[in-house]
């Protein structure tokens, strides 16, 4: 046990040391790349070591830190530093509203700590199965993104000469982010969780504002104030637990039966903080605005760090949400976000924006699953977190590389990508299939989510899932079709993707395929223990033998159908038929003769239906509806307790 705990300390502290080292190195130097690769793989190996040991042993490791007063003083000093930094930058850019949220969230917690009103004796670290799974996400996916960023930032500044090269600063922030994530998922003490929670808020703010353009500054401060607002909710829940319930640990809170209205109050406040962190409506605009930052920032925020914190907290408190008003409201907000964001994703052609809406949508589904408080809901939520982290990381990185090669990330410019950039197109197709097609785990997880929603007795949730899944199928299939459609100007381009980026992309691509076949093992050895620990009893398997057989049949058929079709076509006479192309076909299915006798190139475009439910028509009403739902939840639950 001592050895594992030492490695955990390493995982929390070493990324911060890496950030300092990177900040001192020469920009875009081979030494910097070597340091990131060696240090990154060291962190990855440590994370895998801890995760494997915990998963194999099935033991929960609880740590009480000695010399806790020293650690508390360090935490207090760093919280003050974060508050001063936010206030300084807010004054510099004249965004004074951010100061209010920073002060409201930090000062009461500091007052509680400094006046001795916080519960002193508590467990500080807790390494269980869910922690181990999160280690794999942060340690593998997060590190691969950092390695990808080391090569990407060099190309980024080559194409964006107007942006000051502060890539060392950017890469250092990424490692600070990872250190904060390791600290947060390892912590059981609510004060420590809050401290790392605030570090991620400030880091995302600094990364989004990297280019220092007016748009970047505005979007970064929007992300800051929304996440600080959630931080205020977390701080209120933290103080309530310490001063009213005399609880300082998250595990102590989740171990209490949710029969008292006084217990559900902090759970509601933590859930509110999670909604802001996971960019659920009405807080989704900060994640959409984060697209102005370089691609590695988007990949990290969407897959391995920022938004996963929110659903991580919701999954932790999920058993307390069962059959409560808070659980019902969280589930409705999540289901509504899943459906609305899926519709909005149909109406945009910017590749990164589609991925952003997809992230918000999938996080909504995870939120809805956690809100049910059922075993099926938690199972589906954890499985969705795993598959979403890998697939979305791969997609963001691939879109970034396509943008560097084509100087565009518009889906309409990706027609014939299978000819233009075949390697990146193939990788992207795997990433897209991983998000919505059988037999990939996202589809399996949606089946479990549907079962949880049906068991909850809510017709609305089933409607949200069915129509949201239909919308999801529409925009992913539309993008996939664009990549495979060869029409005009489809000629091969130079693939300038450096090897350092492929070191990240190839393992992620392989992971998606491996997880496709390994999901029964993952369910038994990774997710089932999480259910047993969360509900504090032995839970019957959510995925049974018949379900595994059906999924294996699906896997087999995916390969047998095209192979069988090819054998059936042997010896058959085929006739090539030219397509109708709004004129006389020129004979290559790419050109036609118009009414003036001139040869013209064929062009086809997707239909985005923005005239029906585009951003201008749907986004604001969705934000208003969700804001009302959040307000009702807080007023009834928190207000009713007082």
Question: DSSP secondary structure string, 128-192?
Answer: -HHHHHHHHIIIIIIHHHHHHHHHHHHHHHHH-TTS---HHHHHHHHHHHHHHHHHHHHB-BHHH
Question: Tokens standing for 266?
Answer: 């902090």
Which pLDDT score, from 0 to 100, does residue 407 have?
A: 81
Question: Tokens standing for 188?
Answer: 């059981």
φ, ψ dihedrals at 584, nearest 5°: -70, 120
Cα 181 to chain center, whole Å? 13
Dihedral sign, Cα of residue 11, residue 16, residue 19, residue 23: negative
With a CB cutoff of 8 Å and minimum separation 6, the contacts of 512 are 387, 390, 391, 394, 430, 431, 434, 440
Contact indicator for 356, 389 with CB cutoff of 8 Å: no
pLDDT digits (tens, 9 = 90+) for 535-574: 887 777 766 655 666 666 666 666 666 666 666 666 666 6
| Of 434, 317, 440, 301, residue with least CA distance to 373 | 317
Which pLDDT score, from 0 to 100, does residue 488 have?
A: 56
- Gap between the Cα atoms of 609 and 9, Å rounded: 51
Cα 473 to chain center, whole Å? 19
Which pLDDT score, from 0 to 100, does residue 400 have?
A: 84
Which class for 21: exposed (0-12), middle (13-18), buried (19 or more C-beta within 10 A)? middle
For the chain, give the mean pLDDT. Answer: 83
Which pLDDT score, from 0 to 100, does residue 541 have?
A: 74
Segments of the chain with pLDDT less than 50? none
Q: Give the largest Cα separation in the chain, rounded.
A: 87
| Of 184, 75, 198, residue with least CA distance to 127 | 184
Q: What predicted TM-score, i.e. pTM, was given to this entire model? A: 0.90
Which pLDDT score, from 0 to 100, does residue 534 have?
A: 84
User: Three-class SS of residue 540?
Assistant: coil
With a CB cutoff of 8 Å and minimum separation 6, the contacts of 126 are 60, 61, 62, 63, 186, 187, 188, 249, 250, 251
Which class for 599: exposed (0-12), middle (13-18), buried (19 or more C-beta within 10 A)? exposed
Which pLDDT score, from 0 to 100, does residue 562 have?
A: 61
- Gap between the Cα atoms of 243 and 152, Å rounded: 48
């Amino acid at each position: 046990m001592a050895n594992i705990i030492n490695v955990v300390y390493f995982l929390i502290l070493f990324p911060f040391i890496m950030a300092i080292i990177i900040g001192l190195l020469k920009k875009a130097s081979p030494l910097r790349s070597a340091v990131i690769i060696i240090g990154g793989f060291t962190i990855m190996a440590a994370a895998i070591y801890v995760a494997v040991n915990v998963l194999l042993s099935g033991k929960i490791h609880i740590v009480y830190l000695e010399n806790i007063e020293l650690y508390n003083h360090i935490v207090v000093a760093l919280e003050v530093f974060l508050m001063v930094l936010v206030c300084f930058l807010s004054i510099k850019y004249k965004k004074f509203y951010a100061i209010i949220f920073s002060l409201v969230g930090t000062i009461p917690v500091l007052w509680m700590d400094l006046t001795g009103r916080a519960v002193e004796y508590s467990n500080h670290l807790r390494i269980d199965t869910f922690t181990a799974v999160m280690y794999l996400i942060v340690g593998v996916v997060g590190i691969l993104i950092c390695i990808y960023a080391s090569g990407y930032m060099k190309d980024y500044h080559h194409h964006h000469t107007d942006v000051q090269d502060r890539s060392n600063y950017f890469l250092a922030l990424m490692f600070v982010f990872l250190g904060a994530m390791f600290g947060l998922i390892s912590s059981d003490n609510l004060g420590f969780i809050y401290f790392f929670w605030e570090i991620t808020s400030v880091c995302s703010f600094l990364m989004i504002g990297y280019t220092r353009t007016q748009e970047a500054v505005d979007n970064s401060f929007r992300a800051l104030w929304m996440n600080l607002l959630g931080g205020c909710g977390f701080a209120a829940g933290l103080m309530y637990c310490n001063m009213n319930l005399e609880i300082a640990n998250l595990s102590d809170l989740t171990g209490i039966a949710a029969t008292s209205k006084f217990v559900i109050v902090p759970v509601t406040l933590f859930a509110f903080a999670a909604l802001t962190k996971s960019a659920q409506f009405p807080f989704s605009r900060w994640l959409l605005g984060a697209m102005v930052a370089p691609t590695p920032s988007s990949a990290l925020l969407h897959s391995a760090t920022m938004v996963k914190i929110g659903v991580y907290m919701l999954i932790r408190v999920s058993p307390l949400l069962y059959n409560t008003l808070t659980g019902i409201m969280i589930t409705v907000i999540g289901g509504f976000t899943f459906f609305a964001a899926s519709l909005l994703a149909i109406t945009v052609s910017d590749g990164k924006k589609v991925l952003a809406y997809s992230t918000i949508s999938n996080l909504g589904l995870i939120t809805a699953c956690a809100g049910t408080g059922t075993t099926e809901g938690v199972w589906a939520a954890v499985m969705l977190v795993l598959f979403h982290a890998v697939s979305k990381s791969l997609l963001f990185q691939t879109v970034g590389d396509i943008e560097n090669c084509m100087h565009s990330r518009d889906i309409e410019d990706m027609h014939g990508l299978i000819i233009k950039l075949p390697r990146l197109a193939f990788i992207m197709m795997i990433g897209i299939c991983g998000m919505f097609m059988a037999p990939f785990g996202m589809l399996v997880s949606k089946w479990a989510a549907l079962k949880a929603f049906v068991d909850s007795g809510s017709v609305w949730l089933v409607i949200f899932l069915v129509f949201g899944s239909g919308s999801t199928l529409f925009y992913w299939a539309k993008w996939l079709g664009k990549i495979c459609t060869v029409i005009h100007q489809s000629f091969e381009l130079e693939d300038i993707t450096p090897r350092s980026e492929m070191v990240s992309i190839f393992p992620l691509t392989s992971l998606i395929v491996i997880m496709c076949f390994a999901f029964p093992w993952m369910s038994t050895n990774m997710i089932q223990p999480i259910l047993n620990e969360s509900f504090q009893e032995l839970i019957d398997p959510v995925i049974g033998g018949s379900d595994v057989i059906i999924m294996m049949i699906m896997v087999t058929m995916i390969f047998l159908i095209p192979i069988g079709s090819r054998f059936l076509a042997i010896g058959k006479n085929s006739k090539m038929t030219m397509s109708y192309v709004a004129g006389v076909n020129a004979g290559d299915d790419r050109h036609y003769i118009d009414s003036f006798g001139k040869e013209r190139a064929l062009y086809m475009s997707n239909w985005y239906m923005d005239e029906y439910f585009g951003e201008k028509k749907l986004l604001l009403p969705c934000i208003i509806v969700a804001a009302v739902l959040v307000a009702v939840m807080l007023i009834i639950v928190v207000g009713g307790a007082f």
